[in-house]
C-alpha cells in the first residue's frame, strides 16, 4: 500500500547502510557451547555470565514448581497472579540488595519504563548518561518529564545539568554500560545528587551477579547504601540465568510504584516457576565467589590474548569486552568470518552504538576456559 511505502524504504536503507539486523536460531540450551541454525558454535555473545541458565539446580527448581503450580500466572500481580513464589523472591531480593523492599517486573525494559514513568511527571527533570540503555531513555520519554543528557561519565557536565534542573530531579545511569562494558563513577554521582537534592536510580543489570562480594552488583561493591542510591534496578535474565527484573528501594517508594506503574499494573505476572528458579539461582549467586573469580580470570586472559593481536580493546574490566572496529561492513565481515570458524560473536552497529564505532561485543562467562579463549584467539589470527 502506498501509505506504507516509507516502511519498505526504511528497511532498504538499513540494508544499504549495513545496519539490517537478523536473527539466528538457538537449537540447544544456552551456554558457551551452543547449536546455532543446526551448527555447533563456541559462543561469546550470551549474557549468562555465571553459567546459570542451564544449571541443574535452577532447572530442577523450575520443573518442581511447574509440577506443583502449573505454567502460567493467569492474571496480573494486582488481580490474583501474585504467587507466594513471587512474594518470597521479592523479600529475598530486598535482603540481598540491602533495601527495604523489592518489586518484580516481567522484564528489565518494563522495569525501567514502569519505574521512571510512575515517579516522574512533565513538571520534573530527568538527567541521564548519553550511553544509557534504550529502556531508560524510553522511560523518560513515557514520563513526559524534561530530559537532560550528560556526556558519558562526565561529572562536570552532569553537575551543569543538575544546576539547571527544576522541580523534582532524578539522575539515571547504567551501572555497567551494556555496549562499552565500563562502569559509572557512582560514588561521585551519588555525591553530586546529594549536593543538588536529586534522586539517583542505577540500572545494575550487568553488574548484578558479577560484581560485589556476594554478587549484589556495582552499587554494593562501592558500598553505596539506600541513602546514596535510593533505587536500584536489577535484571534476572543475565547473570541469574532466568528471566524478569526488579526494582529495590525504600518501602514507601516501592509501594508508590506498585500503585502507579502502568507497565506493572496492566501486565500478567511472570510464571511462578520462573520465580522459583530465580530463588534457587539467587542462592548460587550469593555463594558464587568461585564463579566470579573464574570469570575475572577469563576477562584478564581474554584481554591479554586479544590485545596481542593488535585489536583495539575498549576500557572495560567487566564481562563485556568490546573490540572497536569502526566501519559497519568490517564488523559484519569479522563476525561472519568467525562464524565460519565456529565462533559466535555479535557485530554491534548503530543505532545501538554511536556512528563510526561499530564493534564486536564479546561477553565472557565463568564457564569459558582458557582453551576456549585460545580457540577464539586462533580464529581471530586468521582474520586480522
Q: Which H or E element spans position 94?
A: helix 84-97
- How much is the pLDDT for 19? 86
Residue intervals of the chain classified under CATH 3.90.1150.10 are 22-50+289-381
Distance CA(70)–CA(190), nearest Å, equals 43
At CB < 8 A and 24+ separation, what contacts does 61-66 make? 61/276, 61/277, 61/279, 61/280, 62/273, 62/274, 62/276, 62/277, 63/273, 64/276, 65/272, 65/273, 65/275, 65/276, 65/277, 66/271, 66/273
Could you say which architecture CATH assigns to the domain 22-50+289-381?
A: Alpha-Beta Complex (3.90)
Query: Residue 5: which pLDDT band, with cuts at 50, 70 and 90?
Result: confident
Residue 86 labeled ligand binder: no
Residue intervals of the chain classified under CATH 3.40.640.10 are 56-286
Residue 352 labeled ligand binder: yes
Residue 235 labeled ligand binder: yes
Using a cut of 0.85, tell me whether the model's pTM lies above it. Answer: yes
Of the candidates 275, 155, 266, 289, the one whose C-alpha atom is nearest the C-alpha of residue 211 is 289
Residue 187 labeled ligand binder: no
Q: Would you please indicate which residues are annotated as catalytic (active-site) residues?
A: 178, 206, 238
Query: How confident is the model over 93-138, as pLDDT tens digits?
Result: 999 999 999 999 999 999 999 999 999 999 999 999 999 999 999 9
Residue 178 labeled ligand binder: yes
Residue 206 labeled ligand binder: yes
Of the candidates 309, 364, 352, 308, the one whose C-alpha atom is nearest the C-alpha of residue 328 is 352
Q: What is the CATH number of domain 56-286?
A: 3.40.640.10
Query: How confident is the model over 25-79, as pLDDT tens digits?
Result: 999 999 999 999 999 999 999 999 999 999 999 999 999 999 999 999 999 999 9
- How much is the pLDDT for 1? 57
Amino acid at each position: 500500500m502506498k501509505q506504507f511505502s516509507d516502511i519498505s524504504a526504511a528497511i532498504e536503507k538499513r540494508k544499504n547502510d549495513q545496519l539490517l539486523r537478523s536473527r539466528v536460531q538457538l537449537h540447544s540450551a544456552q551456554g558457551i557451547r551452543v547449536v546455532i541454525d543446526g551448527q555447533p558454535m563456541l559462543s561469546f555473545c550470551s549474557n549468562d555470565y555465571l553459567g546459570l541458565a542451564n544449571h541443574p539446580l535452577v532447572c530442577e527448581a523450575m520443573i518442581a514448581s511447574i509440577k506443583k503450580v502449573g505454567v502460567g500466572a493467569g492474571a496480573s500481580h494486582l488481580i490474583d497472579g501474585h504467587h507466594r513464589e513471587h512474594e518470597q523472591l521479592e523479600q529475598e531480593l530486598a535482603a540481598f540488595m540491602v533495601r527495604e523492599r523489592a518489586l518484580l517486573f516481567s522484564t528489565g525494559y518494563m522495569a525501567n519504563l514502569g519505574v521512571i514513568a510512575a515517579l516522574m511527571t512533565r513538571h520534573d527533570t530527568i538527567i541521564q548518561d548519553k550511553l544509557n540503555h534504550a529502556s531508560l531513555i524510553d522511560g523518560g520519554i513515557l514520563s513526559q518529564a524534561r530530559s537532560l543528557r550528560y556526556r558519558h561519565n562526565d561529572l562536570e557536565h552532569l553537575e551543569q545539568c543538575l544546576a539547571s534542573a527544576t522541580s523534582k530531579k532524578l539522575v539515571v545511569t547504567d551501572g555497567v554500560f551494556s555496549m562499552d562494558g565500563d562502569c559509572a563513577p557512582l560514588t561521585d554521582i551519588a555525591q553530586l545528587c546529594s549536593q543538588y537534592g536529586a534522586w539517583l536510580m542505577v540500572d545494575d543489570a550487568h553488574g548484578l551477579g558479577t560484581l560485589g562480594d556476594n554478587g549484589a552488583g556495582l552499587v554494593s561493591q562501592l558500598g553505596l547504601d539506600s541513602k546514596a542510591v535510593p533505587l536500584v534496578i536489577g535484571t534476572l535474565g543475565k547473570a541469574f540465568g532466568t528471566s524478569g527484573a526488579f526494582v529495590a528501594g525504600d518501602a514507601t517508594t516501592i509501594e508508590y510504584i506498585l500503585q502507579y506503574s502502568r507497565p506493572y499494573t496492566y501486565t500478567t505476572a511472570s510464571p511462578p516457576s520462573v520465580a522459583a528458579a530465580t530463588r534457587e539461582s539467587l542462592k548460587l549467586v550469593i555463594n558464587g565467589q568461585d564463579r566470579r573469580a573464574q570469570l575475572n580470570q577469563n576477562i584478564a586472559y581474554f584481554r591479554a590474548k586479544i590485545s596481542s593481536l593488535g585489536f583495539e580493546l575498549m576500557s572495560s574490566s567487566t564481562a563485556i569486552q568490546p573490540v572497536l572496529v569502526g566501519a559497519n561492513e568490517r564488523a559484519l565481515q569479522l563476525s561472519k568470518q568467525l562464524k565460519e570458524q565456529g565462533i559466535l560473536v555479535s557485530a554491534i552497529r548503530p543505532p545501538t552504538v554511536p556512528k563510526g564505532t561499530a564493534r564486536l561485543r564479546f561477553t565472557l562467562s565463568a564457564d569459558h576456559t582458557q582453551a576456549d579463549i585460545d580457540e577464539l584467539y586462533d580464529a581471530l589470527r586468521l582474520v586480522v
